[in-house]
Amino acid sequence: MASQNSIFLLIILCTHMLMILTLSQNPPNEIPFACVQQSTQCKSRLYQHNPLTKNNISALYSVDISQIQNITHGDQHHHLVTVPCSCKNVNNTVAYFYDTVYSVKLGDILSDVSDEFYSGQTWDDQGTRFKVNTNATIHLLCGCTGSESQIMVTYTVQEMDTLPDIANLLSAEVSEIENVNKVLLRNPGFIKVGWVLYVPMYKNGVPPSPSPLTSKKRKEVVEATGDKCRMYNLFVQVTSCLELVFNEFSNMSHLEVTHHLDMYSRNNSTQMSPGA
């Protein structure tokens, strides 16, 4: 029994190492989003960067015009297409997809059609026969977030993009993008044009960071307010001033903290003389 188990584990280990080896040798541009058991379907958005009109996108994606939103990326005008995303088995790949239909023209090749009309977000199921004058099913990659306040955006990395840019563009957190795309984003800060990423977008903007300060932000606040505390000589010890900053002002911006310290100094000006 024990030896059977260890053989089984060994096989799993070997398969995993083989998979990692294959991935590192030939990194794919896209990885389908594995289904989460609880959500077999959700609304998702596909980021469209091709120079197409809303009417074109409506026809190509089989969606109503009302589901297409403008979005500006630098000086470029792009679109966000809202689609129903569901868990499907596409030729033995079980993942989230949104299917649409493409009318095949002479000389069409799936990869070119994907780049030209679908922002490189189609999944090649190895089965799509591109016969002229037929309708071919196109499987577009999509994802679900499992959170009411967020919606998953399928985004294809473009020239000059950085992760913070993408996060900013789509109201997302870099750390959350990294978490969702662990396989592609193995090297911190490195992204490649053409990679298809899943970006958990906050529908109503990124919420303010919660109270506990990260060590980086803590350092910034200390640097920005330490001098102020010292200058106003507000407290017997500068450390108590900083403590107050952390305890009471922890989720404020530098400007707000400075403003509040100014208020404190004004309120207490009879006891303490600023600029001492």
What are the two backbone dihedrals, phi and then psi, of residue 95, each rounded to the nearest 5 degrees?
Answer: -160, 180
Nearest distance, CB of residue 212 and ligand NAG, angstroms: 9
For residues 79 and 152, which CB has a smaller minimum distance to ligand NAG in the complex?
Answer: 79
93 touching ligand NAG, by CB under 6 A: no
237 touching ligand NAG, by CB under 6 A: no
Distance CA 119, CA 103 (A): 17
Nearest distance, CB of residue 241 and ligand NAG, angstroms: 9
Which member of 103, 162, 239, 253 binds ligand NAG (CB under 6 A)? 103
Long-range contacts made by residues 103-108, C-beta under 8 angstroms, separation at least 24? 103/133, 103/134, 103/135, 103/136, 104/130, 104/131, 104/132, 104/133, 104/134, 104/135, 104/136, 105/132, 106/132, 108/132
Are the CB atoms for 122 and 154 separated by under 8 Å? no
Nearest distance, CB of residue 58 and ligand NAG, angstroms: 10
For residues 57 and 85, which CB has a smaller minimum distance to ligand NAG in the complex?
Answer: 57
Q: Residue 124 carries which side chain, given as an amino acid letter? A: D
Stretch that binds ligand NAG, among 25-33, 130-138, 159-167, 171-179 (CB under 6 A): 130-138
Q: Is 108 exposed, middle or buried (0-12, 13-18, 19+ CB in 10 A)?
A: middle
For residues 189 and 207, which CB has a smaller minimum distance to ligand NAG in the complex?
Answer: 207
For residues 33 and 264, which CB has a smaller minimum distance to ligand NAG in the complex?
Answer: 264
Stretch that binds ligand NAG, among 25-33, 124-132, 160-168, 219-227 (CB under 6 A): 124-132
What are the two backbone dihedrals, phi and then psi, of residue 13, each rounded to the nearest 5 degrees?
Answer: -60, -45
Residues 2-21 within binding reach of ligand NAG (CB under 6 A): none
Residue at shortest CB range from ligand NAG: 127
For residues 39 and 268, which CB has a smaller minimum distance to ligand NAG in the complex?
Answer: 268
Total residues at interface with ligand NAG (CB under 6 A): 27
For residues 36 and 59, which CB has a smaller minimum distance to ligand NAG in the complex?
Answer: 59
Nearest distance, CB of residue 259 and ligand NAG, angstroms: 9
What are the two backbone dihedrals, phi and then psi, of residue 105, each rounded to the nearest 5 degrees?
Answer: -110, 170
Instruction: Give the footprint of ligand NAG on this chain (CB under 6 A).
Output: 53, 55-56, 59, 70, 77, 91, 101, 103, 125-127, 133-135, 210-211, 234-235, 251-252, 260, 263-264, 267-268, 271
